Amino acid sequence: MQRLYFGTDGVRGPYGGPVVNEVFFGRLGAATARWIESRGGSAREVLIGRDTRASGESLSRAFARGVGGAVSLGVVPTPAISRAVRQRGAALGAAVTASHNPAPDNGIKFFGPDGAKLSDADEAAIEALMEGPGGDARAGAAVEVPGEDITRDYVDAAAAMLPKGSLAGWRVALDTANGATMGTSPLAFRALGAEVLSIGDRPDGSNINLGVGSEHPQALSALVLSGGAHLGVAHDGDGDRCVLCDELGQVLDGDEILTVLAVHALGRGTLKEKTLVVTVQSNLGVDRAVAEAGGRVVRASVGDRYVAEAMRREGATLGGESSGHIVNFAFGPTGDGLAAALMVASVMIDTGRPLSQLRGALRRFPQLSMALRVREKRELSALPGLSGAIRSLEGRLGSGGRVLVRYSGTESKLRFLVEGPTDSAVRQGMDSLLAAARGELEVL
């Protein structure tokens, strides 16, 4: 069943637009309540959290009114909502957030009773209920509970991933993107004994992800160098992803984080099924590094929920995306930036090696990614020029590279990825794709 409003990671768009507004969220809340009840659950067992965007509180209340009454968690990281659903036996968790998008955007994503994100089929079923009788908002209000209850449980669980005091003597540079992790990640690192140097910790409703966070790690890199930090951690606005900096200020993306974790686990014989799950976006160097360490890589569609679905199919417990969504089933069923950073810190402690050395496990294939903002997402099969350019480039690269062209699931963008044997081959290939796309699509 085709979804109209849900994308790769929930509903997302500009606040005040056709799908991110109080009226729509009220209707969505009512449809969600009906969907929960159709499955034998209670709509009053819904937990709602949000990030620090100015529009978040109003949208959360509108969704709660639609549901007919729910528990408001306030500002909390998205993975903490997933954990709270599992711990409290709730019917559903809702995170009002636009993740790494800028402050004018907002959205919502859902977690089922097991804490995992809903499937495409579940989201389509909720959408269908928006169009039927009773699709308007119900009368109800969110029931406030102390946010500290959720925060403390999540922080304690994360800190328990490492032995007490294991980061004593460490200095950690932490960028919380003026977002939802401001009240959690610093507590977890300090609980383990680390000294924390913070940036991106003064949200004002309009500065989430603004020049800080996982999309803008330059400030974190500078802080690592100026502060002499052992490790740098940058989250996105809702905390379900991270990028890292080594002690030299060099940035590590999700591919490098996953390679460090997988190679170390293979060496210790603890990588379940000897399998790492990544997405089609990840560099081919990940496959090579994992294979050399005795494991295998399985690829899934872009989106951490598709990674999690593939992990369940393969019996794997570790997976993620190059964007920094890292899923560790030993801690939770969804992307978690804090858990990912602590896992890497654990490898550093276990090996006694700095991150600048550990990152050498990944030797990247030359790769280039770009995106064009387009007015309309036309089917790629209806673009003969671009389709031909893709086939031609794939033929030239052969087994020594790959081409990926897809529309973003959350933005009006056409994304391109080219990998190949040399930088010049990649650059020339990308130029041919962009020229073909501009010739057939209206680019904004």
**If you search the block for the tokens 């449809």, which residue do you land on?**
31
146 vs 14: CA distance, rounded Å: 29
Extract the tokens encoding 227.
């502060």
For residue 351, being part of any structural domain is answered with no
Burial environment of residue 116 by CB neighbours within 10 A (0 to 12, 13 to 18, 19 or more): buried
Q: What is the pLDDT along the chain (444 residues), one digit of tens a residue?
A: 567 899 888 999 999 999 999 999 999 999 999 999 999 887 778 999 999 999 999 999 999 999 988 899 999 999 999 999 999 999 999 999 999 999 999 999 999 999 999 999 999 999 999 975 545 656 666 665 555 578 999 999 999 999 999 999 999 999 999 999 999 999 999 999 999 999 999 999 999 999 999 999 999 999 999 999 999 999 999 999 999 999 999 999 999 999 999 999 999 999 999 999 999 989 999 999 999 999 999 999 988 999 999 999 999 999 999 999 999 999 999 999 999 999 999 999 999 999 999 999 999 999 999 999 999 999 999 999 999 999 999 999 988 899 999 998 778 899 999 999 899 999 999 999 999 999 999 999
Domain shared by 65 and 123, yes or no: yes
Could you give the angle at the alpha carbon of 183 between the alpha carbons of 181 and 184, nearest 5°? 65
Rounded to 5 degrees, φ, ψ at 179 are -125, -155
For residue 177, being part of any structural domain is answered with yes
Rounded to 5 degrees, φ, ψ at 241 are -145, 165
Domain shared by 158 and 247, yes or no: yes
Q: Which of these, 135, 131, 141, lies nearest to 68 by C-alpha position?
A: 141
Catalytic residue among 55, 60, 99, 221: 99
Extract the tokens encoding 366.
């030359």
Domain shared by 179 and 297, yes or no: no
Q: Torsion angle, CA of 261/415/10/80, rounded to 10 degrees?
A: 30
pTM for the model stands at 0.88
Domain shared by 97 and 198, yes or no: no
Domain shared by 55 and 88, yes or no: yes
Q: Which of 80, 110, 145 is where one domain is finished?
A: 145
Provide CB contacts within 8 A for 128, sequence distance 6+. Answer: 1
Ramachandran category for residue 10: left, alpha or beta (phi over 0 → left; psi -120 to 50 → alpha): left
For residue 237, being part of any structural domain is answered with yes
Residue 128: other Cβ atoms inside 10 A: 15
360 vs 321: CA distance, rounded Å: 19
Number of independent structural domains in the chain: 4
Q: Which of 108, 123, 145 is where one domain is finished?
A: 145
**If you search the block for the tokens 């969110």, which residue do you land on?**
142
For residue 358, being part of any structural domain is answered with no
Question: What separation in angstroms does the CA of 321 have from each of 96, 201, 254, 349?
Answer: 22, 25, 6, 24
Alpha helices (H) along 169-269:
185-191, 218-227, 254-268
Q: Which of these, 192, 198, 115, lies nearest to 156 by C-alpha position?
A: 192
CATH number of domain containing 429: 3.30.310.50
Domain that holds residue 220: 152-251
Domain shared by 79 and 191, yes or no: no
Residue 194: other Cβ atoms inside 10 A: 23
Burial environment of residue 226 by CB neighbours within 10 A (0 to 12, 13 to 18, 19 or more): exposed
Extract the tokens encoding 94.
């809702």
Residue 14: other Cβ atoms inside 10 A: 17
Q: Is 99 a catalytic residue?
A: yes
Could you give the angle at the alpha carbon of 433 between the alpha carbons of 432 and 437, nearest 5°? 120
CATH number of domain containing 218: 3.40.120.10
Alpha helices (H) along 102-206:
120-130, 147-159, 185-191
Domain shared by 29 and 120, yes or no: yes
Domain shared by 200 and 233, yes or no: yes
Domain shared by 308 and 247, yes or no: no
For residue 354, being part of any structural domain is answered with no
For residue 1, being part of any structural domain is answered with no
Question: What separation in angstroms does the CA of 400 have from each of 160, 291, 394?
Answer: 43, 16, 10
